[in-house]
């Protein structure tokens, strides 16, 4: 499979959006601070999330991003595939041709594994996650800390 920080960050950011859905549009700067993800990197990620229709954006002051639909209707798999291309563990990428244009010995195995992973990630929505106690606890902690550590050159200006 291809599960990298890009996908992980995307899910984290989307979950942040889900948690603060009632606060109106959320700026990337907010997410950056709360989740410890570089603003520039978030811009890149949200560009793809928007193209896939997972989030809506509002420009100008007071603007930001919000989920395009109910958190229960966005699966983790949707988010990952939006930024990560595919959740595929085969070498051939689905076409069974990795050994001399024919199927290799283990194609079937990886194919099943991919399906397994995909099913799992489809079965969990952002809404599910929001309801979990573990997630709630972390979210509460994040509210308490305000802006402790600054991280990007571009976010450091607004100290106080």
Partner DNA sequence: ACAAGCCCGAGTAAAATAGTCAACTATTAA
Partner DNA sequence: TTAATAGTTGACTATTTTACTCGGGCTTGT
- The residues of the shown chain that bind DNA, judged by CB under 7 A, are 2, 4-6, 9, 25-29, 38-41, 43-44, 46-47, 50-51, 57-65, 151-154
Q: Of 60-68, 95-103, 124-132, 144-152, which part binds ligand FES (CB under 6 A)?
A: 95-103
Element (H, E) at 108: helix 107-122
Nearer to DNA (CB atom), residue 59 or residue 141: 59
Give the phi and the psi of residue 99 in degrees, each rounded to 5. -120, 100
Are the C-beta atoms of 64 and 30 separated by less than 8 Å? Answer: yes
In the complex, what is the shortest distance from the CB of residue 8 to ligand FES, in angstroms, rounded to a whole number?
7
Quick one: which of 131, 97, 121 has its CA closest to 15? 131
Question: Where does residue 94 rank: exposed (0-12), middle (13-18), buried (19+ CB within 10 A)?
Answer: exposed
Tokens in use for 150? Answer: 């600054």
Name the residues that contact a copy of itself, by CB under 8 A: 1, 3, 5, 8, 11-12, 15-16, 35-36, 76, 89, 91, 99-100, 102-110, 112-113, 116-117, 120-121, 124, 129, 132, 134-135, 138-139, 141-142, 148-149
């Amino acid at each position: 499979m291809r599960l990298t920080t890009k996908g992980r960050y995307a899910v984290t950011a989307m979950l942040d959006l889900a948690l603060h859905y009632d606060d109106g549009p959320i700026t990337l700067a907010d997410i950056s601070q709360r989740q410890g993800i570089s603003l520039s990197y978030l811009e890149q990620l949200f560009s793809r999330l928007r193209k896939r229709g997972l989030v809506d954006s509002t420009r100008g002051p007071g603007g930001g991003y919000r989920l395009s639909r109910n958190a229960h209707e966005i699966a983790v798999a949707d988010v990952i595939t939006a930024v990560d291309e595919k959740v595929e563990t085969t070498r051939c990428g689905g076409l069974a041709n990795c050994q001399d244009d024919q199927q290799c010995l283990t194609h079937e195995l990886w194919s099943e594994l991919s399906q397994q992973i995909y099913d799992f990630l489809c079965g969990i929505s952002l809404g599910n996650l929001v309801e979990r106690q573990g997630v709630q606890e972390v979210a509460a902690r994040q509210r308490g800390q305000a802006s402790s550590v600054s991280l990007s050159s571009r976010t450091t200006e607004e100290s106080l």
